Each structure stands twice: as C-alpha cells, then as structure tokens.
Structure 1
Amino acid sequence: MNRTARLYALVEELRAAAPRPRTVAALAARFEVSRRTVQRDLQVLMETGVPVRAVAGRGGGWSIDPGLTLPPMRFTPEEASALAVALATADTRTPYAGAARTAAQKIAASMTGAASAAAQEVAARIVTLPPPADSAVRTAVEAALTTRTVLWLAYRDAAGRESRREVEPAGLLTAGGGWYVIAWCRTRRAGRGFRLDRITAAAATTEPAHPRDLAELLRGSAANGAVRPAALAPLAPPS
C-alpha cells in the first residue's frame, strides 16, 4: 500500500473506531508499518486539516471527530476526475483557494475504490504555474465576506489612479478570468466593483457591514446579467 492509499485508509480506520481512540501501536500493526511512519502520517493529516487529534492518558491514542469528516462518497471515476481537475487548477488568485485545497484533500480522503484511483491518477498529471498573488489581500477580502464586516482597501484603477476606500462587501463576481469584490463604496455612496488584482492593500475591520443586496448593486452595470451558481442542495431521494 502506497502512502496516499494508506492516508485514506488511516482516516477510514479512525472513523470506524470513533469516538474511541486507536493507539499508534495498533495502527502500525494494522497497516504493517513502523510506529514512526504512523506518527508521520498522522501529522500529515493534521496539517491538511483532517480533524484527527491525540487523546492523552490511559486508554488514549488517536481519534477523529466523525462530525467533521465526510462519509465514503460514491463518485464515478468521471466525477472524481472532474473534481480533481477543478480543484487542482484553482489558482492562488481565486478567493478561498486555501480552503478549496483542504476541502479537496478531505473529499479525496472520502473516496474509495475506482473513483479514488481515478482522481489520484488524473491529479498526478496536472501541473500549474501559479501567478503572483498578494495572499494578505485575499485573506482580508475572505475575512470581510465571511464575517460580513467593513473592508478597508487601497485600490489602483485601470488608469493607475490610487485611492483609499471603506467598502461594505456584498459578494464576488468572476468575469473574463478575473475576480471582483462587489461592494457598497462609502466614498462614492454607490455600488462598485473592485478587481482583486488591483487591490494593493486590504484589511478587514470589526465593524459590521450593512446588509447589501448583490443583485441590486449589479443592476445597471455591465454585470447586470450575472448568473448565480446553482444552489448546492442534497440530491432528491429516488421515487
């Protein structure tokens, strides 16, 4: 069993035992590897966001929070490959790119059988050359959108003019390969779109933003016909 397959199997082993912990010795025996290898694998899982934790004391070991993990998913090989491509090609300019990477790892850990093998094989043949990106700007924008707070930003427009703004973010727009923060601009007293790659500095504040309607801010703009993604809803049970 290679390391990738062992990591997936390790997650499933801990999930099956949850909430009871498993000792490193028991896991090493189960996968026929050394205790040191198991410790390294558990550390990798922690670093990639899988909710494994060490339980101290007598009867302790390692456990996983089943409420924060995904059950095995029954993807077809084609579906698994599509997910691998979509998530692997999300570049560093994409909002929530870091969260997308950890989500991809969690989804991959939930796959089994042919779907897992297909996703791994396709992912191994994808390489990207990430463009330069200001992670501090992206992090501030993500924080303001998630917490619904006012965002301070420094902006350089297409003509090179620089300005400082306080804005109330309403959402994100993707168009022509770029990303825009759609917000109510307190300086202009109107809705505005700010290209992420033209924001030279940004900071999320603790001031709650006034709720703004994204469609209303886009009305009358070139993005008036923007379409929202399909809602993520559970599949209806078969009739």
Structure 2
Amino acid sequence: MNRTARLYALVEELRAVAPRSRTVAALAARFEVSTRTVQRDLQALMETGVPVRSAPGRGGGWSVDPEMTLPPIHFTSEEASALAVALATADASAPYAGAARAAAQKIAASMTGSASAAAQELATRIVTLPSPSDALVRTAVEHALSAKTVLQLTYTDAAGRESHRAVEPAGLLTADGRWYLIAWCRTRQAGRGFRLDRITAAAATTEQAHTHDLTELLRGSVAAGAVQPTTLASFTPRLEKPKSPLR
C-alpha cells in the first residue's frame, strides 16, 4: 500500500471506530508499518486540515471527528483533473480562496500516475491575472458568514462616501467578475449589497446574527434574477426573513 492510499485508509479506520480512538501501536499493526511511520502519517493529516486528534495517557489514542470528514469519493481522472485545476486557479481575491487552494492540494495528493501528470500539465497552461484584495477583510467576511455572526465594516460607496455599518450577512453574490456581500444593514434597516473591494475594513464579532433569506433581500434589486449554481442549489435550505430592496 502506497502512502497516499494509507493516508486515506487511516482516516477511514478512525472514522469506523469514532468517537472511540485507536492507539498508534494498533494502527501500525493494522497497516503493517512501524509506529514511527504512523506518527508521521497522522502528523501529515493534521497539517492538511483533517480533524484527527490525539488524547494522551492511559486509554488514549488517535481519533477523528466523523462529522467533519467525508467518506471516499471516487472521481474519474478527468473529474479529478478538472477539480484540481479549477480550485488551484481560483481568484485569490474571491471568498474562501484559501480553502479552495487547500482542497486542490488534497485532490492533487490523491492522484497518482498519468492522472496526476495530466492535471499538473493542464494547470501549467492556465493563468490568472491577480486582482487587489484585502485578506483581512475577506477573512472577516468568511468568518461572519460561516459563524452567522454580526459583521462590523467600513464601506466606501461609488461616490466615495465612507460609512460604518453593522450588518447581518445573508450570502455572497458574484457578477461581472466582482463579489458582493449581501446583508441586512442595521444602520439602514434594509437589505444591502456591499462590493468586497469597497469594504476598507471589516471585523467579525461574536454576536449572533438573525437569519435573513437571501432571495428576499435581493427582491426588487438589479440582482433579483440571481440563481444558484445547479451543483449547489440542492444543498441550500430555504430560510426566512424580511423583504427589502438593495441599492
């Protein structure tokens, strides 16, 4: 068994017994390798973001959170190549670009032989023109969306006017190569769209935001006809909240 296959097998072994744990010695015996090799493999999994953790002492060992991992997904070489290239070339200024690049690395690591070579060769023939972005702003927006918390931001509109807002994020809109945060603005008491490249400062808070329906916030705006990508639509639940036009 090569290392890539063993790394996947290690995760599945830990998933199978979760929430219980396995000792390094037991894992080494299971995969017929040394305990040192297992330790290196577990450390590599941690470094790539797999939620494996160790508990010291008697009765301790290694475990994985089954709710934070996915079972094996079998891609064809063409599918794996397409995903790896698409994720690796994601616009660095786009939301969740860092997570996309990490996912691309995991997909690339799972590929071997001709499939891996084909993906790498294709990636060398795709280039992007970087656009200015504020990583701190993007990270704050990502956190507020994921944690469903209130976001404090400083925004400069098209006329150059600066304002400070407390907003409750509802989602993201992409149009004509630009990204917009769609949110309920507490200052205006209405739905608003904020271009990410015009947010000059942003800070996530620990205050829980109310739930707002993205479609309702877009209703009456120029983005009312926005649709979800078909690959994501079936996973997104319908939520509720007020109806208000965007500027």
Give the structure-1-normalised TM-score.
0.74
Task: Say if 2:166 and 2:186, in contact at 8 Å, map to a contact too.
Answer: yes
1:61–1:149 distance in 2 versus 1, CA, 3 Å: closer
Read off the aligned partner of 2:151 and give its amino acid letter: L
| CA distance in structure 2 between the partners assigned to 1:100 and 1:21 by the alignment | 31
The 5 A counterparts of 1:68-87 are 68-87=68-87
Task: Say if 2:185 and 2:192, in contact at 8 Å, map to a contact too.
Answer: yes
Kindly tell me the number of residue pairs found equivalent between the two proteins: 225
Look up the SS of the partner of 1:121 in the other structure.
helix
| CA distance in structure 2 between the partners assigned to 1:119 and 1:170 by the alignment | 39
Deviates more, 1:163-172 or 1:185-194: 185-194
Give the Å deviation of 1:157: 2.3
| CA distance in structure 2 between the partners assigned to 1:172 and 1:232 by the alignment | 17
| CA distance in structure 1 between the partners assigned to 2:144 and 2:53 by the alignment | 30
1:140 corresponds in structure 2 to: 140
Task: Say if 1:70 and 1:107, in contact at 8 Å, map to a contact too.
Answer: no
Task: Say if 1:80 and 1:116, in contact at 8 Å, map to a contact too.
Answer: no
Give the Å deviation of 1:145: 1.7
1:15–1:186 distance in 2 versus 1, CA, 3 Å: closer
Q: Percent of aligned positions with the same letter in both sequences? A: 64
Q: Unpaired runs of 5+ in structure 1?
A: 234-239
1:97 corresponds in structure 2 to: 97
| CA distance in structure 1 between the partners assigned to 2:88 and 2:35 by the alignment | 31
The 5 A counterparts of 1:95-174 are 95-105=95-105, 117=113, 120-125=116-121, 126=123, 130-174=130-174
2:6 corresponds in structure 1 to: 9
1:79–1:197 distance in 2 versus 1, CA, 3 Å: same
Look up the SS of the partner of 2:160 in the other structure.
coil
Read off the aligned partner of 2:160 and give its amino acid letter: G
2:176 corresponds in structure 1 to: 176
Deviates more, 1:76-85 or 1:203-212: 203-212
2:185 corresponds in structure 1 to: 185
The 5 A counterparts of 1:54-73 are 54-57=54-57, 62-73=62-73
Task: Say if 1:6 and 1:31, in contact at 8 Å, map to a contact too.
Answer: no
1:225 corresponds in structure 2 to: 225
| CA distance in structure 2 between the partners assigned to 1:15 and 1:82 by the alignment | 25
| CA distance in structure 1 between the partners assigned to 2:74 and 2:29 by the alignment | 28
Read off the aligned partner of 2:3 and give its amino acid letter: R
2:206 corresponds in structure 1 to: 206
Look up the SS of the partner of 2:227 in the other structure.
coil
Read off the aligned partner of 2:120 and give its amino acid letter: A
Give the Å deviation of 1:214: 1.8
Q: Unpaired runs of 5+ in structure 2?
A: 236-247
